[in-house]
Amino acid sequence: MTVKVIRWGILATGNIAQTFTKDLLVDPATRDVYTVKHTVVAAASSSGVQRAREFLEQVKAPPTARPYGSYIDLAQDPDVDIIYISTPHSHHYQNVRLCLEAGKNVLCEKAFTVNAVQAKELVRLARQKDLFLMEALWTRYFPLSIYVRDTITSGKLGTIIRAFADNSLNFELEKNFHKEHRMVSPDLAGGALLDSGIYALTWIFQSVYTTQPGDTCKPPRVLSSVRKYGATGVDEAATILLSFPRDAQLGGDIHAIATTSFLVSNNIDGKGTSGPAVRIQGQNGELQVWPPLWRPNRTRLILADGTVEDKTFPIPGPGKGSGWYNGYPLVGMNSEGEGYGMFWEADEAGMALLEGRKEGIYESLDESVVIMEVMDEVRKQCGLVYPENIESTVATEL
Ligand SMILES: NC(=O)c1ccc[n+]([C@@H]2O[C@H](COP(=O)([O-])OP(=O)(O)OC[C@H]3O[C@@H](n4cnc5c(N)ncnc54)[C@H](OP(=O)(O)O)[C@@H]3O)[C@@H](O)[C@H]2O)c1
Ligand SMILES: *[C@@H]1O[C@H](CO)[C@@H](O)[C@H](O)[C@H]1NC(C)=O
């Protein structure tokens, strides 16, 4: 069997770029993937070639990988098959655009863009140029997420009626983030909704929207509230009611609540004692998922017939004794040899390139756009605005 080697370029060298790239370089055989392998051929930092060089050393990229001191140089490197973008949300539109225009396939971090108009423009451009484009919603590609969706579509829960999802982490904003930090700065499209609320919406969408056959479930009506962070004016918490129109014969409208907060945690001791963060309810039972919602590893199925089925989904990696560690600085490091879980989305991007597909298999570009539209609506209802230059679709350098 021939193995396709995917040649990645890494655009930006921040926290998640390090986590992603370290995961990317783990042998795919550790997760039973044998059709693709990944290599890093280049990385670019907007802060200069020296930072790009350091980054390549930090992640233990092959010594041949090239450091660049500007994003455009990376976009023009002929040896790069696909570029992973992990700049702040504010910059996604411009950075993705730059790469697509240079003829590169793209995997771009969440939230996909600042608004739906930008997302639609990127989708249009990718389709016009026949390039692969995917929002890096890594959680959708976890075996746990596949199990959740399969359980729902198998009909075990009966007709899906309602779902709850909460993604909340008490960041102690004043203490931990200066006003220019991407989590709270309006100039970098900060705030809970775009950064963390996207995961609550992801769980709602992959539970009740993606699982309904064909076009039987329509984009939701939305009612929302946000709380603003006094120091910068972005949202520090958001609460969203969603009503997904579905035909009466198929069960009628599906209701959902998605919540997110930077003020309270849904996993106080980090061990799940606070209970599940997702509840998906059907007429015959419910499926629960424990926090953290970006990287969950535990589910519980409870059926009306008395069934209670707990499952855990350990995240593979190089394993104990490897001396290898990964994690994410804002939430802490994992135990030795445990992967972070970002390799599954990378595998999907690689397999798409292998098979000539232009979108991710578990979240279409149209769905990414619908989710951006929901976040637009929340922002409109709650008066959450960002500076004009980062809401724009005009090509520019930020
Ligand atoms: N999937 C996940 O679990 C996950 C987790 C965390 C974050 N994310 C997403 O990944 C993105 C980056 O998050 P992060 O935590 O890695 O942020 P970060 O540590 O602040 O890194 C962002 C990087 O973007 C580049 N950048 C370019 N222009 C910038 C500007 N004006 N201000 C600040 N940085 C700028 C910088 O890299 P250079 O200097 O090298 O250009 C910077 O290091 C966000 O979209 C976030 O939502 C995803
Ligand atoms: C599940 O994740 C938690 C951290 O979120 C970790 O402490 C625990 O060991 C993990 N369980 C398994 C089975 O991987």
Predicted confidence (pLDDT) at residue 263 exceeds the cutoff of 80: yes
pLDDT value of residue 19: 98
Rounded to the nearest integer, the mean pLDDT of the chain is: 97
Tokens of 12: 């930006």
| Across 324-349, average pLDDT | 95
pLDDT of res. 332:
87
Mean pLDDT of 165-187: 97
Confidence of residue 217 (pLDDT cuts 50, 70, 90): confident
Q: What is the pLDDT of residue 27?
A: 98
**CATH 3.40.50.720 in the chain, residue ranges:** 1-142+315-363
Q: Which CATH class is domain 143-312+364-382?
A: alpha beta
**Distance set, CA 121 to CA 115, 126, 396 (Å):** 10, 9, 14
Q: Supply the pLDDT for residue 264.
A: 98
**Over the stretch 86-109, which tens digit does the pLDDT of each residue have?**
999 999 999 999 999 999 999 999
Distance 71 CA to ligand 1 centre (A): 14
% the chain with pLDDT above 70 = 100
Residue 342 CA, closest ligand 1 atom number: 1
Superfamily of domain 1-142+315-363 in CATH is NAD(P)-binding Rossmann-like Domain (3.40.50.720)
Residues of the chain with CATH 3.30.360.10: 143-312+364-382
CA distance 139 to 206: 10
CB atoms within 10 A of CB 300: 16
State both tokens at 188: 């970098």
Read off the pLDDT of each residue in 48-52 and give the average, rounded to a whole number: 98
Give the pLDDT of residue 113. Answer: 98
Most ligand 1 atoms within 8 A of CB, residue of 47, 86, 107 to mutate: 86
The pLDDT value recorded for residue 398 is 85
Model confidence at 356: pLDDT above 90: yes
Q: What pLDDT was estimated at residue 2?
A: 83
Residues 6+ apart with CB under 8 A from 47: 13
Residues near 386 by Cβ (< 8 Å), separated by ≥ 6? 90, 114, 186, 187, 189
Q: Token pair for residue 53?
A: 């060089």
Q: Is pLDDT of 215 > 90? A: no
CA dihedral (109, 348, 70, 339) in degrees, to 10, reads: 70
**Ligand 2 centroid to 94 CA: how many Å?**
37
Cβ-based burial of 342 (10 A; exposed 0-12, middle 13-18, buried ≥19): buried
